[in-house]
Chain A
Amino acid sequence: MMTSLFVKITGYVGDFFLDFEHEFNTNGITVLYGSNGSGKSTIISVLSGFINHLETKIVFNDKSIENIRIFPPHKRPFGTMFQNPILFEHMSVNQNLDYPIKRNKFSDQTVLSKEELINYLELGSLLNRYPQNLSGGEKLRVALARTILKKSDYLLLDEPMSDLDIKTKARLLNFLKMINKKFKIPILYVSHSIEEISQIANEIILIKNGKKITSGTVSKILNSNSFQRLIGKFESSSVLEGTLIKTDQLMNMTTLEVNGQTLIVPGRPGLKDNIVRVRIRSRDIIVSPVKINTHITENELVGIITKIYTEKDTAFSELVIKLTRIKIKKTSQILRARITTYNLNKMKLAENKNVYIYISSVSIDRQAYQY
């Protein structure tokens, strides 16, 4: 069954005007992306019933639930986790986990049992400890388990992992994907980290100054101009999706197939035939009109320049390159490259010209993540 959620919020929050409307039609993970102060957290607070003064319409599975008297926060179908999650200090980890179970009114959802969650999130050794004696990462894992144990129909996670180290984060993100896939609980994930988005999102909503700019699938949004504008030139990047062909245990490298071409990335992000997403920064790409006949980098791709943006006030130009399809099935993926205008002229690059693209595997985000 597809969970449907329609949200429309209009009104002032302080001197900030929020005007947001979206129809969530996915059982996957939707990422709400925007910079600090763009209204992301306000949307979560409105959904979970803690901000009530705005003009609001929330329709969940064909049922209006915005009325705060009929649906106060504790009766909403959401499992919300706020920024800097809080554990109850007077309860042990075990008692914290039992808190939502004792109050559970949404038991028709078949989600993980408490024991399974304890295993998955490795909470076994923490059960009798108190929050004061837990590290930040441990607290977060407990809070996440506790939110899931509410067995709600929709998870709302407000930048829950902003303070975590990369390794723990990657593990928890994978865990969220597993929860989402296996148990069909849709997740709305608020974030302003591009890394996080490219790892978990199925769908992205971009918001800026309280307004939705655009929304759509990951590859559509991450490669869109409005997204590139939002994140700024320095972070300018593209996301490629590839099928995992083989992993090299000894060298710790993985070979992906992207539009029939080969892309070698560091690490072992998944199993054979998994779809892997890789983010490549535009400034890490070397473009050449001729084939460079050395092993200068691990990766040599071919493509065609579809658009050149030359910046008037800087030394740079941005190239939009469509990868050449070797196998016909999938649509061509897009790469963005950032080079100096000086070099662009020297190489006499122009739109509709074929180019060779060189990417060092070192510059591919620390890990290419399983999707």
Chain B
Amino acid sequence: MDTLNFSSSDFNAVLITLKLALTTCFFLALIGTPLAYFLAFKSKRAKPFLESIVTLPLVLPPTVIGFYLIVFFSPDTPLGKFFILLTGEQLIFSFYGLVLASIIYSLPFWVQPLQSSLEKIGNDTLKTSESLGASKFDTFINVIVPLSKKGFLTSFIISFAHTMGEFGIVLMVGGGIHGKTKVIAISIYDHVEQLSFGKAHFLSGGMLILSFIILLTLFYSNKRSMVKVK
């Protein structure tokens, strides 16, 4: 086991993976948070329908999602055309295609923990705040966010970890291109196919330890108030 085990291509894969996970979490915070708020406090009739859609990526085989995303991302679709117009590149097999795909399949991992944490706060707390003179936005920033810190932390950690670990969809949508869309999971797959078990061991072991540390942090911080995570 020498430095050969960690090639520059592997190093790139690690960088791309981290960049992908962080970018995805950033957009999830922007999209998933209002969605969780809406599901927790606002929706009544639309709730079962919306919840089903948000949860779909949890139950569908990654290949099904991958397949549909390839179809939607192809340069012939309005989305594909728009992206080419915007960047000159095609969406499929690009890093941004990968980000978009990750947002979609990690959405339930952001929305669900946050939603259950928001539901625990309850409508009465919101009413109390508003009746004391705080607007809805004021209430969100000064009451909801501090009260659901753990929900946000859980959502972030679980979404981050899940995005790092996804394989099937990332392979289908990204194509595993060196230095562009090749993430750790795909690198490991390639190493195993080429029977370079040493390199596979190195990356896999790294993922194993990192994931364990992430989960340990999460459950340690949630020790007192258990947050149910699917």
Which A positions have Cβ atoms within 8 angstroms of B? 48-50, 72-74, 76, 78-80, 82, 84-86, 88-90, 99-100, 103-105, 146-147, 150
Contact = CB atoms under 8 A, between A and B. Distances in A.
A103 B138 contact: yes
Contact of A86 (B124, B133, B134, B135): B124
Interface string B101-137: 0000000000000000000001011011111111110
Nearest to A73: B130
A74 B147 contact: no
Contacts of A146: 132
13 contacts: A48-B131, A72-B136, A73-B131, A79-B132, A82-B128, A86-B128, A88-B128, A88-B129, A90-B143, A99-B129, A99-B132, A100-B133, A103-B134
Contacts of B124: 82, 84, 86
Contact of B133 (A82, A88, A89, A104): A104
Contacts of B136: 72, 74
Contacts of A88: 125, 128-129, 143, 147
Interface string B175-210: 000000000000000000000000000000000000
Contacts of A48: 127, 131
A78 B136 CA distance: 17
A99 B122 CA distance: 19
A140 to B, nearest CB: 13
A70 to B, nearest CB: 14
B130 A100 contact: no
Contacts of B135: 72, 74
Contacts of B34: none
A116 to B, nearest CB: 19
Interface string B41-53: 0000000000000
Contacts of B128: 82, 85-86, 88
Q: Chain B contact residues (Cβ within 8 angstroms of A): what range?
A: 10 to 19
Contacts of B146: 90
Interface string B2-43: 000000000000000000000000000000000000000000
Contacts of A89: 147
Nearest to A106: B133
A150 B132 CA distance: 6
Nearest to B135: A74
A90 B129 CA distance: 13
Contacts of A78: 131
Q: Which among A49, A74, A100 has the greatest number of chain B C-beta atoms within 10 A?
A: A74
Nearest to A156: B131
A51 to B, nearest CB: 11
B134 A74 contact: yes
Given A88-B143, A89-B147, A105-B133, 10 more contacts: A48-B127, A74-B130, A74-B135, A82-B127, A82-B131, A85-B128, A88-B147, A90-B143, A99-B134, A146-B132
A50 B130 CA distance: 10
